[in-house]
């Protein structure tokens, strides 16, 4: 039995969102609307970016996978830290007709509006990405000193917090002291403790499924004077997932989700500046399949709103 989604299930969100809702922010992947004074409506689209450029085509079902994963993790980490999620039910979004309900099913999150901390709380358990570049230059990552002799993709003895700024384009590394100065000592200490505990919880859940959590980014907000987990959690968009079978220190492991797309783009001679090339439908289908696989592997089921093709 093959799993898949039909082309009509693609939602890119570019032609306007649900009627009557004011768009407050549109990221590379998600659109955020005001629901009321206390709540926001997050809609995960099927947009996909590679090399920081959003492709013109979407990956059918991708937004539903991201929503299902975040919802799964909010539930799994509730005992570690409270979070912003109120509901993922499309029926709880007021004023949608049946067409909009069908389109948005599995893509919505009603969340409590918090005041985001001006820091992205990155935790790394392995040396990868910008961390590897930083390590090669400074033998540290974001000012955290590390042992000599680590290779690309080496596992760190203890996971480390490597905070960054929140920028529209490229986030910049922060030392712990710089992050502490931005948010205050009490918030910093709490966010550090919680971020490391969340990373540990993530690895405990993922490793039995053969998935390594190389690194991941959390966002926290302040709500009623308390630290709460906001944004998305432990999704392929916020994390580097590696299949354990192909992990080998010294080599750059393929990431679980977008590697197929990146590899294909590399064959096209594209200069990585917009506009991106038109994507091959076979590649789109393979990437879609990969997202569904990740979702099933982690949550044990397909996301809400994705039909099984027979």
Ligand X SMILES: Nc1ncnc2c1ncn2[C@@H]1O[C@H](COP(=O)(O)OP(=O)(O)OP(=O)(O)O)[C@@H](O)[C@H]1O
Binding residues (CB under 6 A) for ligand X: these are: 25, 27-30, 32, 40, 84, 111-114, 116, 219, 221, 230-231
Cβ closest to ligand X, residue 9 vs residue 231? 231
Residue with smaller CB distance to ligand X, 9 or 232: 232
Q: What does the alpha-carbon distance between residue 188 and residue 177 come to, in Å, rounded to a whole number?
A: 9
Residue that has been written with the tokens 């830290």 in this structure: 81
Name every residue whose Cβ is closer than 8 Å to that of residue 218 and which is 6 or more positions away in sequence: 120, 121, 122, 123, 194, 195, 198, 229, 231, 233, 238
d(CA 310, CA 121): 42
Q: What is the DSSP letter of 14?
A: T
Neighbours of 154 (CB within 10 A): 17
Q: How far is the CB of 84 from ligand X (least distance, A)?
A: 4
Backbone angles phi, psi at 179, to 5 degrees: -65, -40
Residues 6+ apart with CB under 8 A from 258: 48, 50, 236, 287
Nearest residue (CB) to ligand X, 222 versus 283: 222
Least distance CB 204 / ligand X (angstroms): 24
Shortest separation between residue 278's beta carbon and ligand X, angstroms: 22
Nearer to ligand X, 114 or 146 (CB): 114
Write the burial class of residue 271 (CB in 10 Å: 0-12 exposed, 13-18 middle, 19+ buried).
exposed
Q: Cβ closer to ligand X: 40 or 212?
A: 40
Rounded to an integer, what distance in angstroms lies between the CA atom of residue 264 and that of residue 258?
A: 10
Nearest to ligand X of 134, 219 (CB atom) = 219
Helix (H) or strand (E) run with residue 72 in it: helix 62-76
Least spacing, CB of residue 49 vs ligand X, in Å: 7
Smallest gap from Cβ 175 to ligand X, in A, equals 21
Contact (CB, 8 A) for 306 and 68: no
CB of 123 to ligand X, least distance (A): 17
- The pair of structure tokens assigned to 153 is 């993709």
Q: How many CB atoms lie within 10 A of CB 299?
A: 18
Nearest to ligand X of 114, 127 (CB atom): 114
Nearest residue to ligand X, scored by beta-carbon proximity = 27
The helices-and-strands tally (H runs, E runs) of the chain is 7, 16
Q: How far is the CB of 114 from ligand X (least distance, A)?
A: 4
**Closest separation in Å from C-beta 166 to ligand X:** 7
**What is the Cα–Cα distance from 223 to 73, expressed in whole angstroms?**
19
Nearer to ligand X by Cβ, of 115 and 268: the residue is: 115
């Amino acid at each position: 039995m093959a799993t898949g989604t039909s082309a009509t299930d693609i939602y890119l969100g570019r032609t306007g969102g649900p009627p009557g809702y004011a768009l407050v922010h549109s990221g590379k992947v998600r659109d955020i609307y005001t629901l009321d004074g206390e709540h926001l409506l997050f809609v995960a689209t099927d947009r996909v970016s590679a090399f920081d450029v959003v492709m013109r085509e979407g990956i059918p079902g991708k937004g539903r996978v991201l929503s299902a994963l975040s919802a799964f993790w909010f539930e799994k980490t509730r005992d570690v830290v409270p979070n912003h999620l109120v509901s993922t039910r499309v029926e709880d979004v007021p004023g949608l007709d049946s067409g909009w309900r069908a389109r948005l099913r599995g893509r919505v999150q009603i969340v409590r509006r918090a005041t985001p901390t001006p820091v992205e709380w990155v935790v790394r358990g392995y040396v990868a990405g910008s961390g590897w570049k930083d390590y090669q230059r400074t033998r540290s990552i974001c000012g955290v000193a590390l042992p000599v002799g680590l290779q690309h993709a080496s596992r760190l003895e203890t996971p480390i917090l490597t905070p960054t700024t929140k920028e529209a384009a490229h986030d910049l590394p922060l030392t712990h002291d710089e992050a502490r100065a931005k948010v205050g000592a009490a918030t910093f200490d709490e966010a550090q403790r919680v971020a490391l505990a969340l990373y540990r919880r993530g690895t405990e859940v993922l490793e039995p499924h053969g998935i390594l959590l190389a690194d991941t980014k959390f966002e926290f907000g302040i709500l009623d004077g308390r630290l709460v987990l906001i944004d998305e959690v432990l999704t392929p968009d916020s994390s580097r997932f590696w299949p354990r079978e192909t992990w080998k220190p010294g080599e750059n492991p393929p990431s679980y989700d977008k590697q197929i797309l990146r590899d294909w783009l590399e064959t096209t001679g594209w200069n990585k500046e917009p506009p991106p090339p038109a994507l091959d439908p076979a590649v789109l289908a393979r990437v879609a399949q990969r997202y569904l696989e990740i979702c099933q592997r982690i949550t044990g089921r397909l996301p809400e709103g994705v039909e099984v093709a027979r």
